[in-house]
Amino acid sequence: MRVLLLHAKSFCFKPNKPALKEGYEKISQVERKCCENCVVAFITVEDIDTKNYEEVVEKAVEDIANYMNTVKADKLVIYPYAHLSSQLAPPDKALEILDALTEKARAKNIELIRAPFGWYKEFEIHCYGHPLAELSRTYVPRVVKRPKVEKKYFVLTPDGNVFEPEEYLPRADEELRVLIEKEALGKSFEEIDNPVIRYCSKFGFEWEPYSDYGHMRYQPHAALMVEAVSRYSWYVARRLGIPVLMVKGTNMFDLALKPVREHAELFGDRLYEFWAEKKHLVLRYAACHQQFAMLKDYVLSYRDLPLGIFEVADSYRFEQTGELTLCFRLRKFLMPDLHILTRDIAEARKIILDRVQKVIHEEAAKLGRRYVAVYNVTEDFWRNNLDDIVEHVRVDGRPAVVAVYPPAIYYWVLNVEYHIIDVAKRPREIATYQIDVGNAKRFDIKYVDERGNENYPVIIHTALIGSVERYIYMVFDTAAQLEVKGKTPYIPTWLAPIQVRLIPLDVDKHLPFAEKVASLLESHDIRVDIDDRREGLGKRIRDAAREWIPYIGVIGDREVSTGTVNVTIRRTNDRIAVKPEELLAMVEKELEGYPRVEPTLPRRVSQRPTLVYLERPVKGTRSAR
């Protein structure tokens, strides 16, 4: 809080008109007010004051009272004044703090006049010229850390039995045991080399050294994989079988707006905040703000529900430097965020049980993975809805770790995190869903029911495949699990940056046939390239293997004469001679149900710069560069 104190021989002011569209102080009449021998306190309430304003108010009133006593003033004028700082508190909070300051001053028997907040005002002042007639003050609250939320942990089985974590630990399978130890028992894990980080770097997922910590850059292979997963997340959302709208929006929102600020405060400490043109802005941590800002403008009937709204949202979380992990824990990432409006909790649960959970588990199973779950629940929901929670755990098909929170501290009553246990034996959260009972009212999202009454919907939040980068982390971790077992690591053909590579044995003789085969595959939106470099065959095959290309086709004299391609299939290590049409059919079968994304590199390898990142080693799982 910044304050300019003036000891005035006389002071008069008159409100003219509101300076704000909303949030200004309502007054019964506009009249001129004057005082003599008074202290005029021009007060600017800053954004930082909102964190612990009781302490700021106490300091300010005590100091102003001492000043009035020193200069022997008879009266105080509290004059809201927004021009002493560029980092202003939101209007509703500023008014709340000014009211508290006024009340505290009156409690000290200070006679005062209060000028209205949020108005243009004219004033006249005759300031005494003595040495203490003009003073400025700044009051800063102590930094108050967000209190630690006390949670109780349990293990809940699909048959409805509840156990203490230590009690259940001996009977847990290996994956659940790791989750219990990390989440419920707070065990710390030893740092080990994580091959997934090496894979990420191999495909061009890198830290950006010219940016803030935790921000990545995507080389051509990585860029293609990000685009493919982003498009696929939309396919998955549509598979739920309910109406879903795709939208796009901005990544920054004004914390002066009450719903934005309240949602941010509930989210927690990992906010990316900045100031611009006197506005305190937050970079979105998911698509909630944008989608809710749109939904509040929709005219919705019960007939429209359930209704989904979807965006692959660039999202920002101020993660701690020591926790940053390439491809997994980032400060900027892409979140395929889906919100589903439902009539009530019962309908939300039905959609989750019948559709959301089913799709979440199907997508993990496609990669050969199985989730273990953490159920975050509020205490009242846990106490009153245990049978319902058990029904969700039963759909998961294995016991879950349950974290019970105090009631009404968040906007959700149930928040489920689905984890894999990665090759480094750490839980890694991927997919999620929540049942949100607070944000519809906060953002004024309504629907009209059968009787014509307005109601606030219950909102399902879900990331069906997790963030784009975390999904890719799971793909690479699956490959790492194969490598640990002595098998050839691979990634799904739909996600491979290059799906087919053709290698003409003699570039001059065999390139025309390679071009013909490539054109056939490319006409069906298959990503194919030709290694036309004048290098030895062995080197070119090794280079293709280093890029994990699913199908490597060699073309020599025999292949040209028979109209075939000698193909090595990475996943099975089979080597077969096939017609181009047969190769096309094989690849297309693997691509069914997945997006076809355009290549990010020229068709001919000779036309590309050396992809240095394929050779660049990366050590460790943290953010060291």
At 409 the pLDDT is 83
What residue type is 523 in one-letter code? S
pLDDT digits (tens, 9 = 90+) for 9-63: 999 999 999 999 888 999 888 899 999 999 999 999 999 898 889 989 999 999 9
- Comparing 71-85, 91-105, 186-200, the range with the smallest average pLDDT is 186-200
Res 22: pLDDT = 83
Structure tokens at 76: 């105080």
* Residue indicated by tokens 């699913």: 550
Please, what is the angle between helix 357-366 and helix 386-396, to 10°?
20
Model pLDDT for residues 483-514, shown as the tens digit of each residue: 999 999 999 999 999 999 999 999 999 999 99
Q: pLDDT by residue (tens digit) across 255-295?
A: 999 999 999 988 877 899 989 988 899 999 999 999 999 99
**Residue type, position 49, single letter:** D
How does residue 618 score in pLDDT terms, banded at 50, 70 and 90? very low
Digit-coded pLDDT (tens) for 444-475: 999 999 999 999 999 999 999 999 999 999 99
What's the chain's average pLDDT? Answer: 94
The predicted-structure confidence for 391-411, as pLDDT tens digits, reads as follows: 999 999 999 999 999 988 889
Q: Residue 340 phi/psi, 5° resolution?
A: -120, 120
pLDDT at residue 621, rounded to an integer: 40
Length of the chain: 625
* Two tokens, residue 310: 């979807």
Residue 131 is predicted with a pLDDT of: 94
The mean pLDDT value for 352-362 works out to 98
CA distances for 115 relative to 60, 67, 139, 613, angstroms: 17, 20, 21, 64
Percent pLDDT > 70 in the chain is 97
Concatenating the DSSP letter of every residue in 97-116 gives HHHHHHHHHHHTT--EEEPP
- Give the model confidence (pLDDT) of 221-258 as tens digits: 999 999 999 999 999 999 999 999 999 999 999 999 99
The residues near 62 (Cβ < 8 Å, ≥ 6 apart) are none
pLDDT band at 614 (very low <50, low <70, confident <90, very high): low
The answer to whether residue 182 scores a pLDDT higher than 70 is yes
Q: What is the 3-state secondary structure (H, E, C) of 489-525?
A: CCCCHHHCCCCEEEEECCHHHHHHHHHHHHHHHHCCC
Given this model, what pLDDT does residue 265 score? 86
Q: What percent of the chain has pLDDT over 90?
A: 88
Long-range contacts of the stretch 378-384 (C-beta < 8 A, 24+): 378/404, 378/405, 378/406, 378/407, 378/408, 378/409, 378/410, 378/412, 378/413, 378/414, 379/404, 379/405, 379/406, 379/407, 380/407, 380/408, 380/413, 381/407, 381/413, 381/414
Q: 620 pLDDT band (50/70/90 cuts)?
A: very low
Token pair 């755990």 is at which residue? 393
For residue 189, what pLDDT band results from cuts at 50, 70 and 90?
Answer: confident
Residue 354: DSSP 8-state: I
Residue in the structure block whose two tokens are 């050396």:
610
* Over residues 107-134, mean pLDDT: 96
**CB crowding 546-576: b at 16 or more within 10 Å, else e:** ebbbbbbbbbbeebbeeebbbbbebbeeeee
pLDDT at residue 72 is higher than 80: yes
The model's pTM: 0.89
- pLDDT category at 622 given cuts 50, 70, 90 is very low
Nearest to 293 by CA among 326, 250, 348, 331: 250
**If you average pLDDT over residues 294-321, what whole number do you get?**
96
pLDDT, one tens digit per residue, over 406-441 is: 988 889 999 999 999 999 999 999 999 999 999 999
Average pLDDT over residues 598-608: 96
What is the dihedral angle through the alpha carbons of 268, 269, 275, 278, rounded to the nearest 10 degrees?
A: 50
Instruction: Set out the domains of the chain in order of their start, with CATH numbers.
Output: 2-138 (3.50.80.10), 152-192+210-216+248-468 (3.30.930.10), 493-614 (3.40.50.800)
Q: How many CA atoms lie within 13 A of 326 on its CB side?
A: 30
- The pLDDT tens digits for 124-165 are 999 999 999 999 999 988 766 666 788 999 999 999 999 999
Under DSSP, is residue 428 helix (H, G, I), strand (E, B) or coil? strand
Average pLDDT of the residues in 549-565: 98
Q: Which helix (H) or strand (E) holds 537?
A: helix 537-546
> Can you count the helices (H) and strands (E) in the chain?
18, 28
* Mean pLDDT in residue range 529-537: 96
Q: Quick one: which of 479, 610, 490, 602 has its CA closest to 550?
A: 490
